[in-house]
């Protein structure tokens, strides 16, 4: 994503079988809104509502994602996937979504046009690194659920994952409550669709501004989305970006989850707009590195949710 905010930042997020496109699509939508009107703090009911509405469109976008197999040479399938993906980055799509976001009300999940079939994070870690030469890497690794497949290699002790749960099964939601997507059914050589959307943001000169990643199953993409918005649109320092309570909506279940501590006036304002609000314990962990204009690096890991610690060497 180029020209993000008035600072003309560029955001790099993964393609393939990740949810990077869902994140970039959501940031494009919020960026279009930001250029027309300043985004205020997400503890403001109207701003929080806008964030949630974008999250619901991100969930819809995610439902159209899915691998077609790394060895796929079927031109029809390859071209169909390219066309399906490219739609979510077009100005027509972004403008259309912005026009549908109403500050006074939310909508039933069907209004977000997901490609759903009609019908707790335990094993993920994220790591962000920036070196003295300006190189940056952010990775996410997982066994998926608690102890993965509950099978380990007797020699190395490595626990095998159960990432097959990230594929969609007809008429069946996965362990994180995500509805089945018609583009994510199991096929040979396909990779299961992940919520991972770790990102690197640079300025117009290519200098790193932010490296950010998260763990938390289906909540990963929204956590990173909210972290980027808080940093570059709300102007929060990195401690507040990571530590402040987060919100989450994945379209289905049609419920808005808000972490404690809570602001009752914000919840009341969101409920008045039609959101079904549920207070939840933290279910994502995030880390980030902010690089300032003088080269100073500020690292922050999610101590509040996972006792994470930033390290400088």
Tokens 């100005």 belong to which residue?
91
How close are the terminal C-alpha atoms of the chain, in Å?
31
Distance CA(228)–CA(265), nearest Å, equals 25
> In which order are the strands placed within the sheet that holds 277-280?
247-248, 256-259, 277-280
Q: Is 4 helix (H, G, I), strand (E, B) or coil?
A: strand
Tokens for 107?
């909508």
Q: Can you tell me the distance from the alpha carbon of 155 to that of 90, in angstroms, rounded to the nearest whole number?
A: 50
Which uninterrupted H or E stretch holds 140?
Answer: strand 136-144
Q: Could you tell me the CA-to-CA distances from 251 to 165, 271, 309 in Å, in that order? A: 19, 16, 32
Q: By C-alpha distance, which of 82, 106, 86, 66 is closest to 25?
A: 86
Q: Quick one: how many helices (H) and strands (E) in the chain?
A: 8, 10
Tokens standing for 60?
A: 């819809």
Catalytic residue among 61, 106, 124, 231: 124
Q: What are the C-alpha distances in Å from 34 to residues 146, 183, 208, 222?
A: 39, 32, 22, 18
Q: What is the rounded distance in angstroms from the CA atom of residue 70 to the CA atom of residue 89?
A: 23
Contact 13, 24 (CB under 8 A): yes
Q: Phi/psi of residue 172, each to 5°?
A: -135, 125
Whether 124 is catalytic: yes
Active site residues: 124
């Amino acid at each position: 994503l180029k020209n993000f905010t008035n600072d003309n930042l560029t955001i790099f997020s993964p393609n393939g079988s990740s949810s990077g496109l869902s994140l970039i699509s959501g940031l494009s939508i919020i960026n279009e809104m930001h250029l027309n009107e300043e985004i205020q703090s997400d503890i403001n009911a109207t701003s929080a509502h806008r964030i949630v509405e974008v999250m619901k469109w991100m969930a819809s976008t995610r439902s159209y994602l899915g691998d077609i197999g790394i060895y796929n040479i079927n031109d029809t399938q390859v071209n169909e996937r390219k066309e399906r993906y490219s739609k979510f980055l077009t100005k027509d799509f972004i403008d259309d979504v912005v026009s549908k976001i109403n500050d006074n009300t939310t909508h039933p999940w069907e209004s977000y046009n997901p490609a759903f079939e009609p019908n707790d994070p335990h094993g993920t870690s994220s790591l962000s690194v920036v070196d003295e030469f300006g190189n940056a890497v952010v990775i996410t690794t997982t066994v998926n659920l608690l102890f993965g497949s509950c099978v380990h290699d007797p020699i190395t002790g490595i626990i095998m994952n159960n990432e097959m749960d990230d594929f969609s099964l007809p008429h069946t939601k996965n362990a994180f409550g995500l509805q089945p997507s018609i583009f994510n059914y199991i096929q040979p050589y396909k990779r299961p669709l992940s919520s991972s959307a770790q990102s690197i943001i640079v300025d117009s000169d290519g200098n790193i501004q932010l490296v950010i990643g998260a763990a938390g199953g289906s909540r990963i993409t929204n956590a990173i989305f909210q972290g980027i918005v808080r940093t570059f649109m709300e102007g929060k320092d990195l401690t507040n970006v990571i530590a402040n309570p987060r919100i989450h909506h994945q379209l289905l279940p049609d419920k808005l989850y808000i972490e404690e501590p809570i602001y009752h006036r914000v919840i009341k304002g969101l409920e008045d707009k039609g959101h079904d609000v549920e207070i939840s314990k933290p279910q994502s962990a995030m880390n980030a590195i902010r690089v300032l204009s003088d080269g100073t690096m500020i690292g922050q890991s999610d101590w509040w949710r996972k006792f994470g610690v930033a390290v400088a060497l």
